[in-house]
Structure 1
Amino acid sequence: MDGLGESRHEHDLAAERNRCERWFVRQGLPQLIHDYSATTDVLTRAAPFLAFVVFIEFFLVFGDRWAGWAQAGIFVVGLAAMAGAMALVNRIRGRRLWQLPERFGPWEVLAYLGLGAVFAGLGSSNAVIVDAAVTLGLNVVLLGGAYVVTSWGLVPMVRWSVGQLWRQVGQMTTLLAKSLPILLVFSAFIFLNAEMWQVAHDFTLPFFAMVAGLLVAVGALFLGISVRRLAVDLARFSSWVDVRSRCADTPVTHLVPGDDAPPPDAPPLGRRARSNVSLLLFVAQSIQTVLVAGIVTAFYVLFGMFTVRESTLMQWTTLSQLTWAESWALRVPLWGEELLFSRQLVLVAAFIGLFSGLQFAVSVVLDSSYRSEFADDMTEELREALAVRAVYHRTLVSETP
């Protein structure tokens, strides 16, 4: 291959690799990118947000400290500080004076942190140092948040999870038929129990939130252990036949090696890549669990309004009267009777819903029939992404200079 042809080949490979890596980001799996870097990948993608923050903070120069022509002068000083910081960083980096950065490293971070503090100091009317320090601290927090969100692809991950949510809603009939009968039989005895209602009556909202948090933490622990183990298994492929069937409608469809090629040998998932895959699967399975808990809670709120009369509730909770201030009591007239909505009803229903969600999470982890029914679709999508990763490493990473 002559020099021109080789250059064109390298350019095509680089374009294919960029397209594949953007696909990983859209799937919420940026950590699958080879040599994923904070300067060239994470902060560079966060740069538009950080630039927007600096733009907003520029208006801090319009404080009460200056007026008239002095205010105009401070405005010019602020513009000069922004332009000077950009020119200085570009000069240090060896770029053209007003070139937009293609990477976001330590010098760009310092400029981002410093400019906000300068703007706050210029516009401060009293404590210049304090205002500048507060703005600097806020910028550090925003930088850390932008790094975490971008590094782990949380925005596309949430978008993918919403898609999973709609899919689960579409499969609601299966979800209800498979899981709810057992859950309702298990919980009906708890619901129609006077002690449960007395406990709910005695609960303050902060203490109930603590109990709810404990149950959520236990369920999250079960799911976390399950998906951590599963992430490693999903990344293994025995042949390119298996990989090819999963790479349809992906950026590497035309790059899958032939069946006679050496078997897939993508490196094992690193710690961060494994965590990224596990987090995506954890989010998807958590959505299912929240759906089950929400359905059970809603069912028991409605069921309780029809079955638990006001006199029964007062007897179970030793209340002398039900008021909105104490019990959120709301009476809904229906067919000459009154349906009663109350705080106690909400807490009992939510408590049972949380336990049902926990039971569902444990069942998905331990019961193979539950796992095949409710987790296979999600694992198949992740398996597709890992198949793309196998092709990416074989045909793009190893050949791209």
Structure 2
Amino acid sequence: MGNPDAAGSAHALAAERHRCERWFVRRGLPHLIHDYSASADVLTRAAPFLALVVFVEFFFVFGDRWMGWAQAVVFVVGLAVMAGVVALVNLLRRRRLWQLPDRFGVWEVLAYLMLGAVFAGLGSSNSVVVDAAFAAGLNAALLVGAYVVTSWGLLPMVRWSVGQLWRQVGQVMTLLAKSLPILLVFSAFIFLNAEMWQVANDFTLPFFGMVALLLVAVGALFVIISVRRLAVDMARFSSWADVRARCADTPIASLVPTDDSPAPDSPPLGRRARFNVSLLLFVAQSIQIALVAVIVTSFYVLFGVFTVRESTLLQWTTLSQLTWEDSWVVSLPLWSGELLFSRQLVLVAAFIGLFSGLQFAVSVVLDSSYRSEFAEDMTDELREALAVRAVYHRTLVPETP
């Protein structure tokens, strides 16, 4: 007979490991999990979404091809096919008949692709082959999308980053105030430049979108450079005392080894784990820089509404008159004057906001004091996650023989 105490201890450790791994996932760092795999970790988390897709596609059987009792027969056939395929796959995997998969392998992928094709074929009113192939292709695209989103924890990552946004407002405003003199000189020159308004007037929205994408791409490049610097050596800890301080409010706080234990020696971050860490930092920094751009854009829209009069706008843009079709003009009488909102104002303000965000990103990368203040909260959060990883590998991951 096995040792009940040993079995209970193993079960408790498995539960602790599962809880710790869920903690990694909720913070958008699933690749910190040991032996993170597509079949056991990624697609199993995507299984409820994929099951929902199949359920929605089941209603493809209600097409115009069948009427009356024939439609009822097709409905029953569709139900039988779905139940039979699910039961067959679970029998092949030696699971309960209606259990969601604990591993997602070839059989599950084939079943997922086939069911959508079968339902589309049963309800097709045109070409059965074309509709079935389209449904299978759509399912394949959704499978790839679900894999990417789930594998990298994009939804938890964005949720975490948005949750940090309000905490970052004060920090960003402080840093923005430090760079405000330069930003004001730079942006005021652009705002009061007639040529800029002429360019904005001549811009079509698609061309302005291309320019905006170019500026965003340059800013993203600077953020990537900053992220690579921040991610260096963050997974290393000199003592368990440092780890313990960072794990105080985490699920594994009680598992941190004592100070006289051998020094932390968790394995180096693999390529995917390093990318996951860098991606989290990239998303968080991008949100902060985007906040700066939005603040500056909003300021100049408001400033322009109060300062740019119709006669000035006509002179700057060389237009003879302003119309809603060309300029989205909205005017509001106020205090014997008129507030004017226009397309040109939005484009000029957005252009200044994008350049301000780009300049802010450059400052963060090149100025060490900006970088330390700007990234302090993010690096603390990340160091906490990597401290948890150190304890996780020491106490919860079985040693390989």
1:388 maps to 388
Listed as ranges, the matches of 1:62-211 within 5 Å are 62-171=62-171, 173-211=173-211
The CA deviation at 1:176 is 4.3
User: Which runs of structure 2 are paired with 1:220-235 in the superposition (5 Å)?
Assistant: 220-235=220-235
SS at match of 1:232: coil
**How many residues are paired up?**
400
Q: Deviations over 1:233-286 (max 9, x none)?
A: 221211111111100110110111111111111111111111111111111111
Cα shift at 1:97: 4.0
Structure 1 unaligned runs (5+)?
Answer: none
- The CA RMSD over aligned residues, in Å, is 1.6
Question: Any stretches of 5+ residues in structure 2 without a counterpart?
Answer: none
Q: Distance in 1 between matches of 2:396 and 2:95?
A: 29
Contact 2:161 2:283 in 1 (8 A): yes
Once the two structures are TM-superposed, the CA of residue 170 in structure 1 deviates from its matched residue by 4.8
Contact 1:54 1:112 (C-alpha < 8 Å) held by counterparts: yes
Deviation at 1:179, TM superposition (A): 3.4
Give 1:174 shift: 2.2
339-348 or 30-39, which deviates more: 339-348
Three-state SS of the structure 1 residue aligned to 2:63 is: coil
Superposed, 1:45-56 pairs within 5 Å as: 45-56=45-56
* 1:346 counterpart residue number: 346
Q: Structure 2 CA distance, aligned partners of 1:186 and 1:243?
A: 45
User: In 1, distance between residues paired with 2:361 and 2:118?
Assistant: 51
Q: Write out per-residue CA displacement over residues 358-396 of structure 1, whole angstroms, 9 at most, x where no aligned residue.
A: 000111111112112221011110110011001101111
Paired residue type of 2:318: T
Q: Structure 2 counterpart of 1:368, which letter?
A: S
Structure 2 counterpart of 1:110, which letter? L
Q: For 1:273 and 1:150, how far apart are their aligned partners in 2?
A: 14
What is the letter of the counterpart of residue 78 of structure 2?
G
Deviation at 1:400, TM superposition (A): 9.4
**Shift of residue 309 of structure 1?**
2.0
CA distance in 1, matches of 2:280, 2:188: 34
The aligned runs of 1:207-356 (5 Å cut-off) are 207-356=207-356
For the 8 Å contact 1:232–1:274, the answer to whether it is kept is no
Counterpart secondary structure, 1:233: coil
Q: Contact 1:24/1:33 (CA < 8 Å) preserved in 2?
A: yes
Q: Contact 2:26/2:156 (CA < 8 Å) preserved in 1?
A: yes
Whether contact under 8 Å (1:120, 1:135) holds in the other structure is: yes
Distance 2:383 2:331 in 1: 51
- Measure the CA separation in 2 of the matches of 1:398 and 1:101: 24
TM-score (norm 2): 0.96
How far did 1:96 drift? 4.2
Aligned residue in 1 for 2:36: 36
- Of 363-372 and 46-55, deviating more is 363-372
Identity, % of aligned positions? 81
Distance 1:109 1:26 in 2: 26
Aligned 8 A contact 1:14 1:400 in 2:
no
TM-score scaled by length of structure 1: 0.96
**Structure 1: distance between partners of 2:368 and 2:175:** 15
1:187 counterpart letter in structure 2: S
Q: Distance in 1 between matches of 2:62 and 2:202?
A: 53
Query: Cα offset for 1:341?
Result: 1.4
SS in structure 2 at match of 1:333: strand
Return the letter of the residue paired with 1:374.
F
**CA distance in structure 2 between the aligned counterparts of 1:346 and 1:165, rounded to whole angstroms:** 24
Q: Is the 8 A contact 2:171 2:374 kept in 1?
A: no
**How much has 1:99 moved relative to structure 2?**
4.1
